Structure 1
Amino acid sequence: MNDTTSLRHDDGPVLLAFAFRPFFLLTALYAAGLVAAWVAFLFGGLPLPLGVNPIQWHAHELLFGMVPAAIAGFLLTAMCNWTGASPLKSGGLLALILLWTAGRAAMWLSGWLPLWLVAAIDLAFLPAMAAYVARVLLRHGNYRNLVLVALLSLLTGANLLMHLGFSGLWLGGGRLGEILALDLIATLMVVIGGRITPAFTANWLRMQGKDPTQVRRSEALDRAAFWSMVAILPVDLAMPFSVLTSLMALFAALVNGWRLHAWRGWKASGEPLIWILHFAMAWIVVALLLKAMTPWLALSPSVWMHAMGAGAGGTLILGVMTRVAVGHTGRPMRLPRLAIWIYIAVITAGAVRVIGAFVPQLAYPALTVSAVAWVVAFLLFVLIYWPILSRPRADGRPG
């Protein structure tokens, strides 16, 4: 392989050959950099040119900076499999990357820019991605997945609520937007995780010469899991932290827990690329249970929110990225050497962060340990997967 081939593939840079390549690296780099800067701000006095509430800025950038990059990497890649459409690449992909980058720059420089301009720049990415995805799905008659476009559109609305809070036009908008965003991201995880986790588990069992029908899938249960999450949205909008929200969260936890049990994740306990997905889906159930317990035990909402964000979100994002990165580059479907520490670190980060939210006396040391583990997890992803994502496919195919 000559140098030209390693730099360019399919008439364009390798990193722009498929959306998962740049967006997965950006997700990991931003996740690590954001949390490192946040801890440096809290404990070291790092000056940040912010024109908004620092705590809500931190939440916003995780929910609307890191997570949408991960969604873009997965969704723009997966829909090519769903529809047979050509991937977004080269100039078109670069334009979307620049739009995401502009939003991040605007949020980091919000102390120097008019807040209306910050909002306009930051709000552009999700609608642009949703419009492109909708166009491809409609062109290929793939109406089933339009629900993901709807969720992305609602996520834009949650982002708008946060910006209304930042600007002072609606003081409660920031907190409400944060809760709505977590609910929507959890719903996306229930949909996406609900498709790939049992499918990958059954396929692995088949490849091991075992019975794949041990993984039990039910369309009725999938629908129940989805609608149990959707039902929480209007309740959280009207009555966040209420008893009704608690009951809805408990129902969603039971349905999603039942579905997770039916997938028989322990049957694939010997394959890290599989069990990490089950672990992430279990985090969703735990977060919903904690949400249900919040008004009864007078828990801080931070407990369930970090269980859903740092726990479920961080684990599923890394679980998906580590798998897609090898599967879509023509490499053996196994975890690279030392990559198991990515999983250990992100699980540690989520667990310690939730413990810190549970026990106020441990808040600061727990935040420090959690942040270090989080940064280690995502930096390890960059170090281990950069050579994979920045080079052509191992099998010589385009993409």
Structure 2
Amino acid sequence: MQSPTPRPAVALSNLARAPHRLMFFIGASNLLLAMAWWALWLLSARWPMLAMPDTSVYAGWLHAFVMQYLVLPSFIFGFLLTVFPRWMGLPELPRRQYLPVGIGLIGGQLMLLLGAAGLPIGIPLGMVLSLLGWSIGLWRLGRLLVAERGRTWHARSCMAALLLGYAGLCAFIAFVAGADPSWALLGIKLGGFGLLLPIYITVAHRMFPFFAGNAVANYTPWRPLWWLAAFWVFIALHLLLELDQQTAWLWLADLPLLLLSCIALWRWWPRGVMPGLLRVLFIGLAWLPVSLALYVLQSLVELLGDQMILGRGPAHALFVGLFGSLLVAMVTRVTQGHSGRPLQMPPVAWFAFIAIQIVAVMRVVAEIMPDAGAWQALSAVAWLLAFSPWVARIGRIYLLPRQDGREG
């Protein structure tokens, strides 16, 4: 009688097998830690039975900084440190080159959260570690760009967004070091439209038609570089108008962005039968025109002399709806494929994806509800409920070797 095959052991050493393993594990951990703190803060603000310590940085700004510069960039660096060598035909990075990036980002997040909990040195030290992780990550990716013989425009687009993000990171750190609060606002604004949106759009432009072409019969990929260049032009215009506080005129940038996003969604959306792992990519991408339409509406209402009726609703349609949905879709795809598992949506991923659609609607609607604080707090708790089972599953996968016995 044959002895049963031993189950693979969970080990921290498996995290160092590939950049995406380490960085996705860090990002998933940060995803829950950051939102747990923010949910507690919102709950205490609305129902003061729970007292949260005061922070040296306004909690809302700290929340924006952590999500834009630590949580989502952990996934971004993990993805780019993995795919840059493949896009450029270069050797994969050795672990000594990406481990410091992960250490800086997880260390920065932990220290910032300890600072938010009352540790005096936590926030300054967290900023230093965050800057260190970012600097090493940019250096490694930049060296790959220099080593490339040709020109991979998607890689250069991602690098341009990362450099804008680095400028925003430094601006926020300058505020923490004593500069005017306008530096914090500069950092927050660059994080959304300067860093995250261009990277998400660049990756979608390169990868989504490719994924669809491999999964749907008779699909014709469409990814002209003029479209990506045009998107960048109007992103830059949006940033210039917002930094100049001309929010009533943002529609001049956001309406063309809306039209470009509708064109892309129409051209990219497969007309045939789609597997679930592909369908969630395009459903998530549909939040892009939704969020841009809300931005346009907000701007036009302000231009006509009324107040900003939607508050932070358009931003959260973008951050929770688009970024959150595509995070689940893309990370699940990478995790399944790079762990030797079938390219399909497991039930826990479906739960997270469907739940995050509900969370996004809750957070957008919260801005127009009579008790906005309660809705904001409940949407943060719902975020935790949506992501926790999914994070537990993918976190365990990164601690295991590949199922097919291959490296990575």
Is TM-score (shorter-chain normalized) higher than 0.5? yes
Matched letter for residue 140 of structure 1? E
- Match of residue 69 from structure 1: 74
CA RMSD of aligned residues (A): 2.5
Matched ranges for 1:203-282 at <5 A: 203-205=214-216, 210-213=217-220, 215-243=221-249, 245-265=250-270, 267-268=272-273, 270-282=274-286
3-state SS of paired residue (1:124): helix
Matched ranges for 1:260-339 at <5 A: 260-265=265-270, 267-268=272-273, 270-297=274-301, 298-339=308-349
Cα contact 2:265–2:282 (8 A) shared by 1: yes
Q: Which runs of 5+ in 1 are unaligned?
A: none
Q: Mean Cα displacement is larger for which, 125-134 or 161-170?
A: 161-170
**Does 1:79 pair with 2:84?**
yes
Question: Of the candidates 346, 353, 357, which is equivalent to residue 343 of structure 1?
Answer: 353
**Does 1:390 pair with 2:405?**
no
Cα contact 1:19–1:87 (8 A) shared by 2: no
Cα contact 1:277–1:319 (8 A) shared by 2: yes
Q: Specify whether residues 139 and 256 from structure 1 end up closer, same or farther in structure 2 by C-alpha distance, changes over 3 A only.
A: same
Q: Distance in 2 between matches of 1:380 and 1:85?
A: 36
Matched ranges for 1:183-198 at <5 A: 183-184=193-194, 185-198=196-209
Q: Mean Cα displacement is larger for which, 139-148 or 341-350?
A: 139-148
Q: Distance in 1 between matches of 2:7 and 2:150?
A: 37
Matched letter for residue 338 of structure 1? V
Cα contact 2:291–2:315 (8 A) shared by 1: yes
- TM-superposed CA distance for 1:300, in Å, is 4.2
Matched letter for residue 380 of structure 1? P
Q: Distance in 1 between matches of 2:51 and 2:81?
A: 36
Matched ranges for 1:103-142 at <5 A: 103-110=108-115, 112-113=120-121, 117-141=125-149
**Does 1:157 pair with 2:161?**
no
- TM-superposed CA distance for 1:248, in Å, is 0.6
Q: Distance in 1 between matches of 2:314 and 2:355?
A: 20
Question: Of the candidates 368, 371, 380, which is equivalent to residue 371 of structure 1?
Answer: 380
- Match of residue 13 from structure 1: 13
- TM-superposed CA distance for 1:258, in Å, is 0.9
- TM-superposed CA distance for 1:253, in Å, is 1.1
Q: Distance in 2 between matches of 1:39 and 1:49?
A: 15
Q: Distance in 2 between matches of 1:188 and 1:166?
A: 26
Q: Distance in 2 between matches of 1:114 and 1:355?
A: 34
Cα contact 2:43–2:374 (8 A) shared by 1: no
What per-residue deviation string (whole Å, max 9, x for no partner) do you get for residues 14-40 of structure 1? 211111112212222221221122121
**Does 1:181 pair with 2:191?**
yes
- Match of residue 25 from structure 2: 25
Matched letter for residue 28 of structure 2? A
Q: Mean Cα displacement is larger for which, 96-105 or 291-300?
A: 291-300
Cα contact 1:165–1:173 (8 A) shared by 2: yes
Cα contact 2:205–2:223 (8 A) shared by 1: no
- Match of residue 40 from structure 2: 40
Q: Distance in 1 between matches of 2:356 and 2:379?
A: 9
Cα contact 2:108–2:126 (8 A) shared by 1: yes
- TM-superposed CA distance for 1:117, in Å, is 4.9
- TM-superposed CA distance for 1:320, in Å, is 0.8
Q: Distance in 1 between matches of 2:338 and 2:122?
A: 41
3-state SS of paired residue (2:181): coil
Identity over aligned residues, as a percent?
23
- TM-superposed CA distance for 1:121, in Å, is 3.1
**Does 1:92 pair with 2:97?**
yes
Matched letter for residue 296 of structure 1? L
What per-residue deviation string (whole Å, max 9, x for no partner) do you get for residues 73-109 of structure 1? 2111112321343434544333221111221133224
3-state SS of paired residue (1:95): helix
Aligned pairs, number: 388
Q: Specify whether residues 119 and 157 from structure 1 end up closer, same or farther in structure 2 by C-alpha distance, changes over 3 A only.
A: same
Cα contact 1:49–1:108 (8 A) shared by 2: no
3-state SS of paired residue (1:172): helix
Matched letter for residue 191 of structure 2? A
Q: Specify whether residues 17 and 118 from structure 1 end up closer, same or farther in structure 2 by C-alpha distance, changes over 3 A only.
A: closer
Matched letter for residue 20 of structure 2? F
Cα contact 1:50–1:108 (8 A) shared by 2: no
- TM-superposed CA distance for 1:167, in Å, is 4.3
3-state SS of paired residue (1:143): coil
Q: Mean Cα displacement is larger for which, 143-152 or 195-204?
A: 143-152
Q: Mean Cα displacement is larger for which, 257-266 or 182-191?
A: 257-266
Q: TM-score, normalised by structure 1?
A: 0.89
- TM-superposed CA distance for 1:370, in Å, is 1.9
Question: Of the candidates 364, 382, 407, which is equivalent to residue 354 of structure 1?
Answer: 364
Matched letter for residue 108 of structure 1? L
Q: Mean Cα displacement is larger for which, 234-243 or 330-339?
A: 234-243
Cα contact 1:326–1:388 (8 A) shared by 2: no
Matched letter for residue 339 of structure 2? T
